[in-house]
Amino acid sequence: MSRYLTDFARPSGTLPPRADMSSDAPVLTLDGTWRFHLAPSIAEAPDGFHATDYDDSGWTDLPVPSNWPMHGHGKPAYTNVVYPFPIDPPNVPTENPTGDHRVTFTVPADWSGQRAVIRFDGVDSCGVVWLNGVQLGVTYGSRLPAEFDITAALRPGAENVLAVRVHQWSSGSYLEDQDMWWLPGIFRSVTVRLRPAGGIDDLFLHADYDHTTGTGTLLVDGPEDAVVSVPALGLTGLATGVTHQVGEVRPWSPEDPALYDVLVATDAETVSLRAGFRTVKIVDGILTVNGRRIQIHGVNRHEHHPDTGRVVPLDVVRAELELMKRHHVNAVRTSHYPPDPRVLDLFDELGFWVIDECDLETHGFEFVGWRDNPSDDPRWRDAYLDRISRMIERDKNHPSVILWSLGNEAGTGRNLAAMANWSRDRDPSRPVHYEGDHACEYVDVYSRMYADHAESTLIGRGEDPSGHRRSLPYILCEFAHAMGNGPGGMLEYREIFDRYPRAQGGFIWEWLDHGIRQDGFYAYGGDFGEPLHDGNFVIDGLVFPDRTPSPGLTEFAAVFAPVLIGVHPDKVDVKNTYTYRDLGHVALAWSLGDRSGVVASGTLSLPPVPAGTSAEIPLKDLPLPSGPASETWLTVTATAAKALPGVPAGLVLGAGQAVVHEPAPVVRSTPVPADGLRLGSAVFEPVHGRLVKLGDLELDGPRPHIWRAPTDNDRMDDRGTGSLLRSWKEAGLHRMRERLVAITPSADGLQVESRFAPAGTNVGFTSTVRWTYADDALHATWRLVADERWTLTLPRIGVRLALPGSLTSVSWFGRGPGEAYSDSIQAALVGAWTSTVDDLQTPYVYPQENGHRADVRNLTLRDASGAGLEVLGGPSFGFTARNHTDEDLEEAGRRTRIPARDQVFVNLDLAQRGLGTASCGTGPLPPYILTAGDHVLNFTLRALR
């Protein structure tokens, strides 16, 4: 009865694939409320449910499109690589959630005698379809369309009963092992379409651009009797099957996604398409579009919504793509399957370079040494060719698609090579991508994931050991894993892309955290009781599950800004890194800022700066401060003076800063002598030698602090082995103990010396704080010296203070407004910023170190009356301030478990380890690694009344 389930993922009864096009032929959507029944296995599913008179009154309602586990039927499950069922291809477990769906519909009586089809845009993983009790066939390929001819079964003018049985597991599941939630269902639209006799079933639009002449050509492959018109070009009555010279056109690119409506008509049907004129070519190992080398500043995009799973409303998609544009994302890899077909229209319209990726991944075979991998097994060849043809036929008319990708992490083998050949035969205009072909035997670009900076540099320089690979463009289909706090190191990647022409950029892994919304938190793997899961590895995006930007996205926007600005006291260097655009749309402004905020500002005029060139703008007559004024920074910002597609006017397109005035060092008065444990208005306690009072302010600290709540990149360092965290914990960095050595009062201050070391070992640190009190303020010189035998790197070096919880308002002069870490700091500019303790926290789904503000010169924390504490750097420090400790954060696992304490814990950091992206990829680069040794942090504390 269910032999189709093991038929090597071959659909049956489906029509040949064709383009997704909008037409004037009638279309009826079946999206809406359907009847639904879920059975734990096929044997337990109702017999005869497809009969027109079947009584489904005992069933429940379910929206379609939907993933049924998102609606209380069964549960989502997350695994990355491992299959959640035994590897026993093509068989699947008997326990196989089976969702029966029914819906009724009517089409007008005048459809009678005409051909009609039903289209499923996505059914996960396999569905059997009946119309009016007649079986139409079986769908396979979850993220690909399937059409059936319904002419014989349809009853125009009467009620029709559609019944679809969907199985969560099928032989197709072996080909769909992408790193994401397993979510069965009819999760994309279902439509019934009239296909008029003499209509247009398929078209292949070729719109090329000759950059040497600025002219376009148009070829529409389609029915011979169809005529083509392009109203905006004044073209009508063009024949299909012929290449037409269309004269001067505006070429298509993400920087100017110029689209031309193309109408193709027969007597029976008119189809509208949109042409974007562009020509993709690999020239001397460089990927070019319209004659120019492109650079990919991309993201990997999955389809996910925190409430509805892989069903994402189109307005949400549009908003997210606009968010990408506003953060200078110029490319999307549709990891790891073709998206909802409407998303391609948005890519064309808003402007993105797209790698369209086929719905194929067999990664779980890696666990069995790739034995029986479908990619090299002839029994699966049909399924592979079926999938590539369905993707290419569906999406071939989209100018945004510049590369076809065979799939992801499916090992290698003959079936993949066959897909590549099929692709090249059908569409020679787009190169073929597949990362898993390491030797580049059947692909056109050399694609890698997570190659580190050093290796990427070697490849960029042409020092790759494989000669053949050296002749191909190099693209990182995944890099800079954005899990949790991070990624760090994006700037250094961009520098490689800018330096080496063959290194043509890459796609951040990934755009979105796939959290599932629960009461007050987002679920990740394991939260639904899955016996096998990969925890929060699915929470690795530049935006949070609700698509609000995480600091990683803000950093991306700064690193991949199209206008690079270098600020000097006497000039500004402006570099235009667009591929095609000049800077005619850019306004340049300057501002001078100090501790008090912006003190002066103005505009600069920008000479013409063609794409890829630079200009130098002399700075004259800026009102630079002199004398005792506070430290002053000059900031120059490029913004969009007028709106572009997806880019609102006023958007920041680049910024740069430099310090232009440094005040003379402060000369302090003679310090006051210590009086026992008192020093001026400061009071120390005798047990540990900690400061407990400053004026009226009660506080506790500073204690040396070298721990941070591990970031995902700390936890999973070394490509997931977690060896860094293990060594930190083995060494006891998270459970340091203090032993007071001596408190030594003197005529000019007080010195507190302690031994700071973990239990169970005999290595540690000496901590010394030298306190002086002058000018109503308490000055500290804190020194932390590691024992010579200490070899481990550290997460942070700093001190921790506990302050009353009433201090909720925060202001600082330093980098902001957002968090910054040494290798993710481009977005944070020096300025005067304000916030609250609550707002300083970044809500990473998996709680971890966050909210650090860098290069801070002074910080104040105040209560509602304005009383509190001021901290001055000597010269600067980093800080975090929160109502919980790092240990609380580390323990929590989810945000609802972070306690709120009635204290503010302030860390004053000399430094923190950078972020890197070691949860999948490389750790921080050497300059951002923190070695123990001999470190000194100077700061001044002043009680505010």
What does the alpha-carbon distance between residue 432 and residue 429 come to, in Å, rounded to a whole number?
A: 10
Nearer to ligand GAL, 348 or 540 (CB): 540
- Residue from 204, 380, 509, 521 touching ligand GAL (CB under 6 A): that is 509
Nearer to ligand GAL, 434 or 813 (CB): 434
Are 375 and 422 contacting, i.e. CB atoms less than 8 angstroms apart?
A: no
- Residue from 176, 427, 540, 888 touching ligand GAL (CB under 6 A): that is 540
What does the alpha-carbon distance between residue 580 and residue 575 come to, in Å, rounded to a whole number?
A: 13
The residue whose two tokens read 């007008």 is 108
What does the alpha-carbon distance between residue 666 and residue 630 come to, in Å, rounded to a whole number?
A: 11
Helical residues (DSSP H) of 545-651, grouped into ranges: 551-559
Residue 697: CB minimum distance to ligand GAL, A: 46
Give the pairing type, strands 446-449 and 474-479: parallel
The residue whose two tokens read 């001067």 is 248
Nearer to ligand GAL, 80 or 114 (CB): 80
Q: CA 257, 263, 266: angle at the middle one, nearest 5?
A: 160
Nearer to ligand GAL, 920 or 932 (CB): 920
Residue 782: CB minimum distance to ligand GAL, A: 39
CB-nearest residue to ligand GAL: 179
Which one-letter amino acid corresponds to residue 699? L
Residue 714: CB minimum distance to ligand GAL, A: 16
Instruction: Quickly count: other Cβ atoms within 10 Å of residue 507's Cβ.
Output: 27
The DSSP symbol for 710 reads P
Looking at residues 141 to 160 of the shown chain, list those that interact with ligand GAL (rule: CB under 6 A). Answer: none
The reply on whether position 80 binds ligand GAL by CB under 6 A is yes
Nearer to ligand GAL, 56 or 435 (CB): 435
For 733: left if phi > 0, alpha if psi spans -120 to 50, otherwise beta; the answer is: alpha
- Residue from 179, 427, 492, 714 touching ligand GAL (CB under 6 A): that is 179
Residue 69: CB minimum distance to ligand GAL, A: 20
Looking at residues 808 to 837 of the shown chain, list those that interact with ligand GAL (rule: CB under 6 A). Answer: none
The reply on whether position 920 binds ligand GAL by CB under 6 A is yes
The DSSP string of 883-912 is SS-HHHHHHHSSGGG----SEEEEEEEEEE
If we measure between CA atoms, which residue out of 666, 588, 665 comes closest to residue 634? 588
What does the alpha-carbon distance between residue 735 and residue 644 come to, in Å, rounded to a whole number?
A: 54
The reply on whether position 912 binds ligand GAL by CB under 6 A is no
Nearer to ligand GAL, 872 or 915 (CB): 915
**Direct distance between the N- and C-terminal alpha carbons of the chain, in angstroms, rounded to an integer:** 81
Residue 173: CB minimum distance to ligand GAL, A: 16
Q: Please identify which of the residues 320, 361, 409, 510 carries the catalytic annotation.
A: 409
If we measure between CA atoms, which residue out of 712, 592, 718, 589 comes closest to residue 654? 589
Q: CB-based contacts of 926: which residues, under 8 Å, 6+ apart?
A: none
Q: CB-based contacts of 810: which residues, under 8 Å, 6+ apart?
A: 834, 835, 836, 837, 840, 859, 860, 861, 881
Residue 179: CB minimum distance to ligand GAL, A: 3
SS3 category, 343: helix
Helical residues (DSSP H) of 372-489, grouped into ranges: 381-395, 414-426, 453-460, 467-470
- Residue from 170, 408, 412, 550 touching ligand GAL (CB under 6 A): that is 408
H/E element, 315: helix 314-326
Instruction: Quickly count: other Cβ atoms within 10 Å of residue 469's Cβ.
Output: 19
Nearer to ligand GAL, 79 or 822 (CB): 79
Nearer to ligand GAL, 335 or 772 (CB): 335
SS3 category, 240: coil
Residue 509: CB minimum distance to ligand GAL, A: 5
Residue 309: CB minimum distance to ligand GAL, A: 17
The reply on whether position 713 binds ligand GAL by CB under 6 A is no
The reply on whether position 357 binds ligand GAL by CB under 6 A is no
Nearer to ligand GAL, 432 or 572 (CB): 432
> Does residue 357 carry a catalytic annotation?
no
Find residue 404's DSSP bridge partners.
Answer: 356, 432
Find residue 279's DSSP bridge partners.
Answer: none
Binding string to ligand GAL for residues 319 to 338, with x set by CB under 6 A, is what?
A: -----------------x--
Which one-letter amino acid corresponds to residue 766? T
- Residue from 262, 402, 449, 881 touching ligand GAL (CB under 6 A): that is 449
Instruction: Quickly count: other Cβ atoms within 10 Å of residue 662's Cβ.
Output: 11
Strand 27-29: give its sheet, edge to edge: 27-29, 190-195, 115-120, 146-149
What does the alpha-carbon distance between residue 155 and residue 184 come to, in Å, rounded to a whole number?
A: 30
Residue 435: CB minimum distance to ligand GAL, A: 8
Residue 712: CB minimum distance to ligand GAL, A: 10
**Exposure pattern of 689-724 as b/e (b: 16+ CB <10 Å)?**
bbbebbbebebbbbbbbbbbbbbbbbbbbeeeebeb
Q: Please identify which of the residues 361, 478, 492, 819 carries the catalytic annotation.
A: 478
Residue 403: CB minimum distance to ligand GAL, A: 16
Residue 76 token pair: 């989502």
The reply on whether position 409 binds ligand GAL by CB under 6 A is yes
Nearer to ligand GAL, 858 or 917 (CB): 917
SS3 category, 526: coil
Residue 920: CB minimum distance to ligand GAL, A: 4
Nearer to ligand GAL, 595 or 719 (CB): 719
CA dist 680 → 17, 719, 780 (Å): 83, 52, 13
Nearer to ligand GAL, 80 or 637 (CB): 80
* Residue count, binding to ligand GAL (CB under 6 A): 12
Residue 848: CB minimum distance to ligand GAL, A: 16
The DSSP string of 811-878 is EEEEEESS--BTTB-TT-EEEEEEEETGGG----SS--S---EEEEEEEEEE-TTS-EEEEEEEEEEE
> Does residue 662 carry a catalytic annotation?
no
The reply on whether position 555 binds ligand GAL by CB under 6 A is no
Binding string to ligand GAL for residues 728 to 757, with x set by CB under 6 A, is what?
A: ------------------------------
Nearer to ligand GAL, 432 or 449 (CB): 449
Torsion angles phi and psi, residue 725, rounded to 5 = -60, -40
- Residue from 478, 513, 819, 849 touching ligand GAL (CB under 6 A): that is 478
Are 485 and 712 contacting, i.e. CB atoms less than 8 angstroms apart?
A: yes
Residues lying near ligand GAL in the complex (CB under 6 A) are found at 80, 179, 336, 408-409, 449, 478, 481, 509, 537, 540, 920
Which sequence positions are flagged as catalytic?
Answer: 409, 478
